[in-house]
Structure 1
């Protein structure tokens, strides 16, 4: 069993069954609960579990660690896209906001692909009654089967150029609803990115204080640097995050929709791309939503203490220089322009550079944007 104390794990999940169940399975693996005698459940994995047994397991975990399941109302951290009524009305529920998608669906390229797909499923010389919705569902079944089961059978009769055209149509929707098509589509994740930044800052500050207590020889020097480099979170006014001792966890798990990940990637401008439009279709574009959020998605922020990696050798330098952060997207290292060193793209990022990079959006500006009545 892992030696992670229960009181050092915090789980925050939306009130959605698949969200808090995925959080449960993550913690299940983290703690290797199959070998734990502290629980009344033991199964090898999701394939051996029933809905009732998972529910029972979650209830038992809630007694051991902080496992919050948030109601949908006012969940600005994980359901931030619902916190701005203007976004819901102007983008999410507004077909006209997807005019680039509509324009692309009316192009010769897309209509030719529809006809080609229809011909692939219609008997030669016969009439085909498949409409655009049915054909789109065929593409969806193909993409889902590939992603979830590595099964290419549903795609057998779909020409490659049709797959590419339908993928671009899907990317257009994602780009405008959840990425950087509209400012309001991604800045809503300021709530979540602020919390992520705070969590990391608290963890680092707590670790520095702990190391200070364990290192009496450098206590006086540390006191000076800790005061001079106090960590703050910018929320319009500088607010201290505390003394680093309260509500600090070694593992924080947040589970929501895959669509929650995309605006966070938008904040970080994870994929630099020229604006996607109906007229800029290209199979060589940088933005492919299926690579960012393939059915499900996750971002992992890991903080390292590595004094040997620090470029600061002078004793007066901040202890914060000894901390580094890596970002993984779907368990793979994520390279970000303006953050990672292009000469060492796989190296962890200095902590202070990371917090400055992520703490770039203003919640006040976003909330003001939500109150404005002008068109997008």
Structure 2
């Protein structure tokens, strides 16, 4: 069995991204929006409201914003593990408005560390797209090629890959100053697009002549091989079309630079191919 860390754990072996001395500036800058938001009026108001509900005055013994964030995380995990009907005491401390603020802070972190915040965040996932496209080519040219390829990773794999494909891209970037603009409607919502057991699937169809009649929501110029993408078992049109399927040639055209010119070691400034992880000492502050 071949292990390809550049496919599923690229974030650990990409020098331009992983936690090394050359990366300190980007790491600090990517947390600016998060730390700014946590010290801003919306987050501080949440902390004040939680302390007020517990009849705790604002002093050295009152809960901090970080401690309130942990309460929200505990609320979420208890609901996820024990079911939505579980009466979590942590959830009683937070209103819907509080949760919206804390969720946005989480999305800010994901956006700037794993998503669209920096191009290296998502471009480092290009080996995965290259491998998927290569599998399609093998299936098309060789009927005995494996019909299914399975990959298993984490949200650190999925969010960069979504961004490489251009999925869930908001018109304006998520920042500490535009919470109200993104509060109700934003595409990049990590709890929705990358929950537990999140997944993305690519299905390659071999189409016969006249097949378009049974697929009216597919392109009129139906080609011999069509591709459909699903995110969390829901059909997901790619950003360059409103159709639920695209030809393999259109897919290749729109992602040409990634499927044909993905040089992982050059992109990551790896002076030699990396096989061991670079990220160490993970915590909330340095964010792994």
Tell me the TM-score normalized by structure 1.
Answer: 0.60
CA shift, 1:335, in A, is 2.2
More deviation in 274-283 or 126-135?
126-135
Q: What SS does structure 1 have at the residue aligned with 2:211? A: coil
Task: State how 1:20-169 maps to structure 2 within 5 Å.
Answer: 68=1, 70=3, 75-89=5-19, 90=23, 94-120=27-53, 122-123=54-55, 129-148=62-81, 149-151=83-85, 153-154=87-88, 155-169=91-105
Aligned to 2:226: 324
| Residue 360 to residue 369, structure 1, CA distance change in 2 (3 Å) | closer
Paired positions, count: 248
Deviations 1:213-266 (CA, angstroms, capped at 9, x unpaired): xxxxxxxxxxxxxxxxxxxxxxxxxxxxxxxx5xx2111111111221111100
Q: What SS does structure 1 have at the residue aligned with 2:151? A: strand
Tell me the TM-score normalized by structure 2.
Answer: 0.77
| Residue 99 to residue 370, structure 1, CA distance change in 2 (3 Å) | same
Deviations 1:330-349 (CA, angstroms, capped at 9, x unpaired): 111112220342xxxxx332
Higher relative contact order (CA 8 A, sep 6+): 2
CA shift, 1:153, in A, is 2.5
CA shift, 1:370, in A, is 2.5
Unpaired stretches in structure 2, ≥5 consecutive residues? 214-221, 271-288
Q: What SS does structure 1 have at the residue aligned with 2:150? A: strand
CA shift, 1:285, in A, is 2.6
Aligned to 2:277: none
Structure number with bigger Rg: 1
| Residue 180 to residue 353, structure 1, CA distance change in 2 (3 Å) | same
How far apart are the structure 1 equivalents of 2:199 and 2:108? 21
Q: Please identify which structure carries the higher strand content.
A: 1
Q: Does 2:198 align with 1:297? A: yes
CA shift, 1:369, in A, is 4.1
Unpaired stretches in structure 1, ≥5 consecutive residues? 1-67, 208-244, 312-319, 342-346
How far apart are the structure 2 equivalents of 1:140 and 1:288? 16
CA shift, 1:131, in A, is 2.8
Determine if contact 2:30/2:117 at 8 Å carries over to the other structure.
no
| Residue 265 to residue 109, structure 1, CA distance change in 2 (3 Å) | same
| Residue 193 to residue 276, structure 1, CA distance change in 2 (3 Å) | same
Q: Does 2:241 align with 1:339? A: yes
CA shift, 1:296, in A, is 3.1
How far apart are the structure 2 equivalents of 1:337 and 1:126? 48
Q: What SS does structure 1 have at the residue aligned with 2:202? A: strand
| Residue 325 to residue 75, structure 1, CA distance change in 2 (3 Å) | same
CA shift, 1:91, in A, is 7.0
CA shift, 1:309, in A, is 2.7
Task: State how 1:167-178 maps to structure 2 within 5 Å.
Answer: 167-178=103-114
Determine if contact 2:51/2:57 at 8 Å carries over to the other structure.
no
CA shift, 1:113, in A, is 1.2
How far apart are the structure 2 equivalents of 1:178 and 1:125? 37
Aligned to 1:363: 262
CA shift, 1:126, in A, is 9.7
